[in-house]
Amino acid sequence: MKTIALPSQLPSDLDLAQINQQLRDGTAQLDWSLVIEADDRHLLTLIAGLDINDHETALGIDTLSPAMGDRLTPLFTQNLETPPIQENNGDP
């Protein structure tokens, strides 16, 4: 399993929907240790369809700062049925 070190600000140049798929597939885990800023929309894309209890390792919960943990935890209740947002790369 590869570790994806998230940048200090999301989304940066990352394809969050693709990362979400890797987390769902169990092929990647997150490292949040550098993250200081992310809006809810990007966080929801990253965690869509994932359960905080079932995917704790993949989500890298132990690498969250207390502040980011406080922001992320409530989003899991609204993310249960939210499909990932597809990033638009300008293609029609």
pLDDT digit string, tens, across residues 17-51: 999 999 999 999 999 999 999 999 999 999 999 99
Asked if residue 92 belongs to a domain, the reply is: no
Asked if residue 84 belongs to a domain, the reply is: no
Number of compact structural domains in the chain: 1
Average pLDDT, stretch 46-74?
93
Asked if residue 90 belongs to a domain, the reply is: no
- Encoded amino acid at 82, one letter: T
Tell me 38's DSSP state.
Answer: -
Asked if residue 64 belongs to a domain, the reply is: yes
Asked if residue 86 belongs to a domain, the reply is: no
Asked if residue 88 belongs to a domain, the reply is: no
**Which is it for strands 2-5 and 28-31: parallel, antiparallel or unpaired?**
parallel
Asked if residue 30 belongs to a domain, the reply is: yes
For the chain, the straight-line distance linking the first and the last C-alpha, in angstroms and rounded, comes to 34
Asked if residue 87 belongs to a domain, the reply is: no
The reported pLDDT for the residue numbered 81 is 52
In the chain, % helix, strand, coil (3-state, to 5) comes to 40, 10, 50
Domain that holds residue 23: 2-78
